[in-house]
Structure 1
């Protein structure tokens, strides 16, 4: 019996690879297992190798595993590309249609099953993925009846016969594995899970749900990988709460429409990836100078330009902080788990209205599209804060002057009104202005307004700017990361400690304004610092050095080949740095 399993299915894009993993994972999630799934897919609609790697465990997991226990192959390319991950006790289950062959040196067992033939006998070759699920079940010792409810939910609208045929495909796949493998193949039986109900979702769904729970009622966006799922989720859900999604002609329109809607008092968001954020930069500046709340989600992907649109990278960090022309207040937050993505989405709207500025919720492809088990969300934690928003009638001013929407205040935040509020009329423009919004180029006014705007985030209150794991008062090494690297870092730490190193961990959740005061004590108590990030230039490391110093201690551990960090990557490379004295 094993406590965790690493399982992967692969083939050509468009062959049902995603649905195979989805059905398998949902069923095991409902048995109470913890799961973490990551898809490798091509940037084209159909064709090109794709795979879905899913980790199943009796304990919480937040990263892709280093190795592989079982590989389901719909073509030879899947075996050739992924066999190196298999350990000596692993199993390859291949479709007889392509005559599977193990690469030289591969010690995994090969079991050949006629996926396509069985599926065709049942009516359509498309059901070969269900046959594969059945073979997987037999190898794991999972009852095929486990999939009944999932199959009914997915295929029930197509009729009872379709449900019956799919369940038969699963059963015949299980029978075929038992017959083909015999006693020569050791099954990978999973220990029983706790049976508790947990959610199973991608980060984008958590962000969308958080936006909904946080009071958003409009999303203006243009589809782009890997952000589109946020839009797709809200297209289904917002109308149920009196809201809507508008697909705009481009990202420029999306950002300006979101500004207009927020100006009118409706909590609104937009979401995109790096190329779309580039187009939004001027509008972000407009949000800053007009002090209009704006929430933007940036799901980072491989760049520059179109780059690697379906692969992992974290290279938008500095652009999100410094990309806009001129100087405006801006808040950038970076959740590192699906749960944090939900709560941070809510907090993004609160911060945008409290500080009347753009807030960027920074994600990355692995966090946005990686699917994982999530403990039930606590809706009692939701707190809606709208800052200095006045939706009541204002007293009439004796001098009949305009409302001082941009009044210079000690905290930098001015009172705000909903358009149409009686006695609340003011001027608004993208040029510099005085307290009533009237355009002004008076030097002292410019100085006062600039300082006022920048002052508002100088004392920003954010509940958890850094996730800290401090096991040691003094550490040999402090590991720092942001977004999805948290899971792999957390798994690498026990391995480094087994090697004799004292390790602490800081995951940056508020990247701007940078939480230097919170991080500084950890830096001071560390002999060495390793910053783990998915880019080629060490952007987070630069932020740490710029805001908290200690550059002589800091080394970057970088990965920018499009693949996520594995725990083993961080363990081995960090160990080499420490042993060889690189840091």
Structure 2
């Protein structure tokens, strides 16, 4: 019996590959298995190879597996591109329509199942994905009834006839595979799951849900991969809470509209990827100068320019921290799981209002679009903190309200437009305490110092996560974002061989948690920084803020693909 396995379905975009993976995963999730999925897809609507790899486990998992147990192929290209991952005991279930063949010397056993023929006989070739799911359930020895329930839910709006046809396709795929295999495949049997209910979501869904929980009622954005799902989720859900989504003409309009909404007292956000973030930089500077809270989500992808729109990268860190001209306070948070993405989004809105500055959530494509099981969220942890927002203002006489008053903590009292006695002057040029433009040198220094003092008041609940049980580790592994699960798995492999490996994940990129991280680096003989970029942007942050450059080594991957556990394991062993 296996406690985990890896399943992948592949074919041409537009063939229903995503829905095949979704049906397979949802059924297993409902049985109580932990899942982690990652989609490989092209930057076009139809055509081009795509695949969906899903890891199924009896324990929490946050990484793509090195190998593959089951490959479901809708074309020969899927076999040719993915067969190198197949384990010796693995199988390929392929549509017999294209006369599938395994390359010479390939691992595994091929089962040619007539997906398309069966679907055509039942009434529609579109149901070939259901045949494939049924065959997969048969190969893994999973009760087909679990998949029936998912089909009924998905197709309930299309009526009983469509539901019955798809269930027949599932059953037929199940039976035909069983006949070909000559019985059950004991080598692919999964241990029984715990049966607990969990959510199954991509990181973008978690961010969108977190925004709703935080009281966000406006999203202004322009569609872009891999951020668009945040917008799509909120288009459906925000109106239920009195909110709305506005698709703007570009990212410049999106950031300025979000700033305007926050200026008026409505919690608002925008979301984009690298190219859109570049367009937002002047607007982010405006939020910093006018001390207006705003939340921005950056779902990092392969760059520069259009780059690799549908591939993994973590190369926006320098831009997120240093991209704006001039100097403003800003906060950059990097969640590493869907669960963290939810809570971090809530906290981002609170920090933005408390510090009256931009807060950027640095996601990446693997986190944004990778789908994972999440334990039920604890909504009692959600709180709304609005900082120095005044409901009442004393009589000001003929003076304007001192919106930019010099304070010890750098945070000035804030009022919303229309507050009695709260008339203010707001401008993007340098200004005095009452907001009127000023180029006075003394005032300039006072206002700059005031704004920058804000960050000393930041209290982020979890700047680091860590698995660091050794006082004198052989190696400390540092990472950020979606690499957390892959690093964890590689670390566990080395520990099983007797090596002492600590792991710290950096979740607050700016202001950098120097004091919190320093003891872990001091105690380690060597430090390996793992990141999806070419220049070591996180490693450079560590060198800049903590030091110990002589200890720091880099493991960089920037080919568009996420790290696999064996790649990090190899990088660690090279240092031992």
What is the TM-score normalised by the length of structure 1? 0.98
Determine the C-alpha separation between the residues in 1 that align with 2:282 and 2:193: 51
- The 10-residue stretch of structure 1 (274-283 or 102-111) with the greater mean CA deviation from structure 2: 102-111
How far off its partner does 1:183 sit?
4.9
Measured in 2, the distance between the counterparts of 1:101 and 1:361 equals 45
Q: Indicate the residue corresponding to 1:479 in structure 2.
A: 477
Instruction: Identify the residue that residue 246 of structure 1 maps to in structure 2.
Output: 246
| Residues 278-323 of structure 1 deviation map (CA, whole Å, 9 limit, x = unaligned) | 0000000000000000100000000000100000000001110000
From 543, 552, 555, the equivalent of 1:545 is 543
Cα separation, 1, equivalents of 2:355 and 2:185:
62
Between the aligned partners of 2:548 and 2:282, the Cα distance in structure 1 is: 35
1:216-365 to structure 2, matched below 5 A, reads 216-365=216-365
Gapped runs of 5+ residues in structure 2? none
Name 2:179's counterpart in structure 1: 179
Q: CA deviation at 1:577?
A: 2.6
Q: Cα distance, 1:499 vs. partner?
A: 3.1
- Is 1:165 matched with 2:168? no
Deviation, structure 1 residue 185? 5.7
2:455 counterpart SS class: coil
Deviation at 1:497, TM superposition (A): 1.7
Q: 1 CA distance for matches of 2:324 and 2:273?
A: 16
The 1-side partners of 2:63 and 2:567 are apart by 12
Deviates more, 1:90-99 or 1:497-506: 497-506
- SS of the counterpart of 2:255? helix
For residues 202 and 483 of structure 2, what CA distance do their matches in structure 1 show? 15
Describe the SS at the equivalent of 1:456: helix
Whether the 8 Å contact between 2:140 and 2:185 is mirrored in structure 1 is no
Following the alignment from structure 1 to structure 2, what is the Cα–Cα distance between the partners of residues 390 and 272? 32
Q: What is the match of residue 378 of structure 2?
A: 378
Q: Does the Cα contact within 8 Å between 1:251 and 1:276 map onto a contact in 2?
A: yes
Contact kept, 8 Å, 1:141 with 1:187, in 2: the verdict is no
Question: Within 5 Å, which residues of 2 pair with 1:133-148?
Answer: 133-148=133-148
User: How big is the shift at 1:184?
Assistant: 9.4
Post-superposition CA distance 1:117-140 (Å, at most 9, x none): 000111111100000000001001
Deviation of the 1:107 alpha carbon: 2.2
Match of 1:396 in 2: 395
Superposition deviation, residue 186 in structure 1:
5.0
Q: Is the 8 A contact 1:221 1:250 kept in 2?
A: yes
CA contact (8 A) 1:139 1:187 kept: no
Q: How many Å separate the matches in 2 of 1:183 and 1:240?
A: 50
What is the Cα deviation at residue 458 of structure 1?
A: 2.1
State the alpha-carbon separation in 2 of the partners of residues 426 and 471 from structure 1. 53
Secondary structure of the residue aligned to 2:188 is: coil
Determine the C-alpha separation between the residues in 2 that align with 1:390 and 1:121.
69
- Quote the RMSD (CA, aligned, Å): 0.9
Structure 1 residue 144: deviation in Å?
1.1
Deviates more, 1:566-575 or 1:125-134: 566-575
Structure 2 residue aligned with 1:559, among 557, 560, 563? 557
Instruction: Supply the distance in 1 between the matched residues of 2:458 and 2:352 (Cα, whole angstroms).
Output: 11
Q: Name the SS of the counterpart of 1:42 in structure 2.
A: coil
Moved more, 266-275 or 467-476: 467-476
Aligned match of 1:581: none
1:372 is paired with a residue of what secondary structure?
strand
The aligned counterpart of 1:424 is: 422
| Separation in 2, partners of 1:180, 1:263 | 66
CA distance in 1 between partners of 2:36 and 2:77 (Å)? 24
Q: In structure 2, do the counterparts of structure 1 residues 160 and 390 end up closer, same or farther at CA, with 3 Å as the change threshold?
A: same
Residues 77-88 of structure 1 aligned to structure 2 (within 5 Å): 77-88=77-88
Q: What is residue 55 of structure 1 aligned with on the other side?
A: 55
Give yes or no for contact 2:89–2:187 (8 Å, CA) kept in 1.
no
The SS at the match of 1:397 is coil
Pick aligned residue for 1:532 from 530, 533, 547: 530
Q: Tell me the matched-pair count.
A: 576
Q: What do residues 138-171 of structure 1 show as CA deviations (whole Å, max 9, x unaligned)?
A: 0011111111221111111011000000000000
Q: In the superposition, relative to structure 1, how do residues 383 and 184 fare at CA in structure 2: closer, same or farther (>3 Å)? A: closer
Q: What is the distance in 2 between the residues matched to 1:427 and 1:107?
A: 71
Q: In the aligned structure 2, how far is the partner of 1:496 from the partner of 1:206?
A: 32
Please report how far the alpha carbon of residue 5 of structure 1 lies from its aligned counterpart in structure 2 after TM superposition.
1.1
Q: Is the 8 A contact 2:139 2:184 kept in 1?
A: no
State the SS of the aligned residue for 2:123. Answer: coil
Of 388, 411, 414 in structure 2, the residue corresponding to residue 413 of structure 1 is 411
Write out per-residue CA displacement over residues 312-368 of structure 1, whole angstroms, 9 at most, x where no aligned residue: 000001110000000000000000111100000000000000000000000000000
Residue 443 of structure 1 pairs with residue 441 of structure 2: yes
| Displacement of 1:397 | 2.2
- Residue by residue over 1:431-451, the C-alpha shift from the partner in whole angstroms, topping out at 9 and shown as x without a partner, is 000001000000000010000
* Matches of 1:278 and 1:193, distance apart in 2: 45
Q: What secondary structure does 1:545 align onto?
A: helix
Residue aligned with 2:93, SS? strand
Runs of 4+ in structure 1 deviating by more than 4 angstroms, as ranges, are 183-187
Structure 1 residue 539 displacement after superposition: 0.2
Query: More displaced, 456-465 or 238-247?
Result: 456-465
In 2, distance between residues paired with 1:196 and 1:83?
33
Q: 1:96–1:113: 8 Å Cα contact kept in structure 2?
A: yes
CA-CA distance at 1:181 after TM superposition = 1.7
Task: Provide the residue aligned with 1:74 in structure 2.
Answer: 74
Preserved CA contact (<8 Å) 2:291 2:356: yes
CA contact (8 A) 2:300 2:314 kept: yes
2:296 & 2:107 partners in 1: Cα distance?
A: 48
